[in-house]
């Protein structure tokens, strides 16, 4: 049962960030993650500030430079169904469509999807782990088949979002609002590495929210995709996944962004792979070598070495599928 909370639904962004600047408050977008966290005592706010009254934060629109502005409160279903996103920002449409279930996609928002808390069973369970201010990461010596193989330090969560890696691959930026105004940053620098701060997943400070996600104008020879492997076909978080954004110059890759999901505490740029692909034609050998390079720096725990092979395979398959005809 959810403990007692107070609730407010402001109707302007200004009011909302003011309310959220007060201690003991927490933002409610779609609520799909928040309500679970409240029930499980993962967060213990006194007051929930609902953002659902902020209609400016909903919807998808073209920007002046030919890019796309997606309001942070746009639902995953709306993102998955959008014609322009499907045509020009395919990785995002595929990621949104593969996240959660129909009911959750009708409720969960794109902004909320970027801010969701990790699904580590120790974090969600009754364990006073490092992320909750404790001394121990229980996954290091406990059950860790769903934990990270990259970037684990102090804490071995995986970032649960599907949309985040897709948006990073598409070079998205996010606009963040607080009581003093707004700022826009690359989404790639939004997430916090546990080596830097183990208690938070993103840079948002109290009183700050994401207001919109901005996608740059698509270049003509851009191809992108998102694919994930999961334990259940129906719906599940990624065991491993990859978002790929490729800009082509003829048959050659001009620039590559390869972002892994389900294997690291943040959406994980496979920089070596990106470099291995630049200037290359995607023949079988190049793709095989690129897929191999994606997992070279993996450091598995006791139960999750399978993720190395899974990741290599999924990168391989996804790159092959993106080859120009």
Partner 1 sequence: MEERRAEPHDGNTDGVSRRDFLRTIGVGTLEAAVLSAAPLPSEGAPAHTGDLVPLVLTVNGRRNALEVEPRWTLLYVLREKLGLTGAKPGCERGECGACTVLIDGKPRYSCLTLALEADGHEITTVEGLMQGEKLGQVQEAFVQEDAFQCGFCTPGQVISAEGLLRKTPHPGVAEIRHGMSGNLCRCGAYDHIVKAVQHASEIRK
Name the site residues for partner 1 (rule: CB under 8 A): 1-7, 9, 28, 31-32, 35-36, 38-39, 48, 50, 52, 77, 100-104, 106-107, 234-235
202, containing H or E segment: none
In the sheet that holds 252-261, the strands lie side by side as 222-229, 240-249, 252-261, 268-269
Integer angstrom CA distances of residue 263 from 33, 74, 120, 203, 297: 20, 26, 12, 20, 12
CB nearer to partner 1: give 3 or 66. Answer: 3
Least Cβ distance, residue 123 to partner 1 (angstroms): 15
Q: Which residue has the tokens 């978002």?
A: 243
Q: How far apart are CA 191 and CA 122, in angstroms?
A: 21
Q: How far apart are CA 180 and CA 297, in angstroms?
A: 41
CB nearer to partner 1: give 110 or 246. Answer: 110
Q: How far apart are CA 205 and CA 214, in angstroms?
A: 20
Q: Which residues are 50's β-sheet partners?
A: 28
CB nearer to partner 1: give 6 or 321. Answer: 6
CB nearer to partner 1: give 72 or 308. Answer: 72
Q: How far apart are CA 130 and CA 155, in angstroms?
A: 7
Q: Can you count the helices (H) and strands (E) in the chain?
A: 12, 12
CB nearer to partner 1: give 37 or 322. Answer: 37
CB nearer to partner 1: give 121 or 235. Answer: 235
What string of DSSP letters covers 25-55?
Answer: EEEESS-TTHHHHHHTTS---SEEEE-TT-G
């Amino acid at each position: 049962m959810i403990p007692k909370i107070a609730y407010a639904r402001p109707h302007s962004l200004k009011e909302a960030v003011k309310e959220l600047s007060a201690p003991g408050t927490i933002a409610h977008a779609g609520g799909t993650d928040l309500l679970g966290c409240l029930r499980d005592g993962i967060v213990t706010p006194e007051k929930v500030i609902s953002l659902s009254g902020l209609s400016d934060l909903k919807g998808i629109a073209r920007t002046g430079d030919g890019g796309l502005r997606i309001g942070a409160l746009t639902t995953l279903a709306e993102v998955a169904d959008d014609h322009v996103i499907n045509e020009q920002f395919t990785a995002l449409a595929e990621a949104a469509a593969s996240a959660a279930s129909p009911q959750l996609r009708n409720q969960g928002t794109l902004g909320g999807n970027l801010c969701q808390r990790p699904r580590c069973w120790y974090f969600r369970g009754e364990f006073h782990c490092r992320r909750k201010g404790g001394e121990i990461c229980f996954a290091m010596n406990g059950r860790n088949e769903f934990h990270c193989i990259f970037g684990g330090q102090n804490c071995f969560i995986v970032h649960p979002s599907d949309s985040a890696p897709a948006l990073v691959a598409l070079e998205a930026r996010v606009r963040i609002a607080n009581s003093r105004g707004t700022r826009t940053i690359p989404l790639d620098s939004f997430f916090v590495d546990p080596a830097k701060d183990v208690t938070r997943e993103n840079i948002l400070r109290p009183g700050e929210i994401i207001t919109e996600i901005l996608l740059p104008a698509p270049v003509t020879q851009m191809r992108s995709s998102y694919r994930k492997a999961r334990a259940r076909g129906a719906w599940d978080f990624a065991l491993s996944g990859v978002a790929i954004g490729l800009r082509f110059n003829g048959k050659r890759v001009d620039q590559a962004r390869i972002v892994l999901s389900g294997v690291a505490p943040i959406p994980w740029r496979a920089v070596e792979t990106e470099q291995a692909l630049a200037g290359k034609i995607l023949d079988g050998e190049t793709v095989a070598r690129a897929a191999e390079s994606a997992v070279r720096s993996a450091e598995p725990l006791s139960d999750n070495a399978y993720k190395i092979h899974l990741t290599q395979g999924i990168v391989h398959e996804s790159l092959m599928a993106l080859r120009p005809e």
